[in-house]
Amino acid sequence: QVQLQESGPGLVKPSETLSLTCTVSGGSLSTHYWSWIRQTPGKGPEWIGNIFHSGSTTYNPSLQSRVTMSVDVSKNHFSLRLRSVTAADTAVYFCARMPARWEYWFDPWGQGTLVTVSS
């Protein structure tokens, strides 16, 4: 059974770069799409972007100018970098798997990691 686990700093200073890694166990990154999703308290989740094992990416247009995703198949993990963060980027960040481009549900998800942007 595939499991995902997010890791990274829980506190990031304004204007700096948020960096998170999602480690996949029980399966290979060489299939499916891999996603980052975030959620601020009291709001619905927001899709950040997808990456395929080839490195091909698709990003949310509202975040595209600040987001970079990467994948390391040999280490079975993929990563998120979000530049120039502000308090509005404070959220719980989840990683998840998407079966295929046109099978666009997310399953499974990681438990999520809270990232706070504050000086």
User: Where does this chain bind other proteins (CB under 8 A)?
Assistant: 4, 35, 43-47, 58, 60-62, 94, 96, 103-112
Least distance (Å) from other proteins to the CB of residue 116? 17
Tell me the closest approach of the beta carbon of residue 105 to other proteins, in angstroms: 4
- Strand arrangement of the beta sheet that strand 57-59 belongs to: 11-12, 113-117, 91-98, 33-39, 46-52, 57-59
Residue placing its CB nearer to other proteins in the complex, 52 or 94? 94
Asked if 20 and 78 touch (Cβ cutoff 8 Å), the reply is no
- Amino acid occupying residue 11: L
Nearer of residues 13 and 57 to other proteins, judged by Cβ: 57
Pairing relationship of beta strands 113-117 and 11-12 according to DSSP bridges: parallel
The minimum distance between CB 29 and other proteins, in angstroms, equals 18
Report the residue number, 30 or 40, with the smaller CB distance to other proteins.
40
Work out how close the CB of 32 gets to other proteins at its nearest, in angstroms, rounded to a whole number.
Answer: 14
**SS3 state at 12:** strand
Q: Toward other proteins, which CB reaches closer, 79 or 113?
A: 113
Residues sharing a CB contact under 8 Å with residue 47, sequence separation 6 or more, in sequence order? 35, 36, 37, 60
